Amino acid sequence: MTGGGASPFGRGMADVTRGNAPSCGTSEPDKRRLRSASQMQCPRQGNTAGVAQTRLAERRTMEVIVRKLFVGIPLLIALIAIGAIQALAHDQRKAVHQVVVPQEDRFTPFAVTIQAGDSVRWVNNDTDDHTVVSDDAFNTAGHQGTNQLLASGRAIVLRFNHPGTFVYYCRFHAHLDSANQPVAPGPEGGIQDANGNFGTPMSGVVTVLPHGGD
């Protein structure tokens, strides 16, 4: 063809000849904008993935904790129950020894030997009231200052947790001499022999041995 203007085909070939790539419909400024947008989106995508991984790790951690609780709580309850049963069985093995006041002014038996943790129960079968008073000058097993009324038909109990001796008397039917020894008679008398003499004070002694001792 002849004419004054160059054809588009001719311009394209000229561009190829000069080493310029022909345009494919996207200008250079548009390409730069696309690259910038892509670079801005990549960090956000990375942050989103990191948050998702963190949440997944937290959820797995909570699942592990919950599983451990489901296992640990029943085990703890079982251990507490076993301990309570053992403690109850241990307490049930503790003995209770009995001292009786018959229908006369005396404690029988006079001497009782027990182990630490055992108890002594005084029972008054007499028609008169009596008392259990500690002789603290000789007591090493505790219960210093004891002064309990043992009314007719009633009982009292003391538990002894420490080894030693517990000397006691009835303050109605004995008193302490200058050496802190229970002697008769008391304010209301004491044990009389066939001749009416007060020879024996109404008293007793508890010997407490260490637990498991002989």
Per-residue pLDDT reduced to its tens digit, 72-107: 777 778 778 777 666 555 555 679 999 999 998 999
Residue 17 pLDDT grade (very low, low, confident, very high; cuts 50, 70, 90):
very low
Q: How far apart are CA 114 and CA 94, in angstroms?
A: 10
Mean pLDDT, range 122-137, rounded to an integer: 96
Query: Is residue 142 within 8 Å of residue 161, measured between CB atoms?
Result: yes
Q: Which two tokens stand for residue 67?
A: 């599983």
| Angle, CA 116 vertex, CA 112 and CA 120 arms, to 5° | 40
Q: How far apart are CA 186 and CA 172, in angstroms?
A: 6
The pLDDT, as a whole number, for residue 76 is 77
Higher pLDDT, residue 6 or 73: 73
The pLDDT, as a whole number, for residue 67 is 77
- Measured between its terminal Cα atoms, the distance across the chain in Å is 137
Beta-sheet strands, E only, within the chain: 96-101, 111-115, 119-124, 130-134, 147-150, 155-159, 164-169, 175-176, 182-183, 191-192, 198-200, 203-209
Claim: this prediction has a pTM higher than 0.75: no
Query: Is residue 184 within 8 Å of residue 200, measured between CB atoms?
Result: yes
Higher pLDDT, residue 211 or 152: 152
pLDDT above 70: residue 15: no
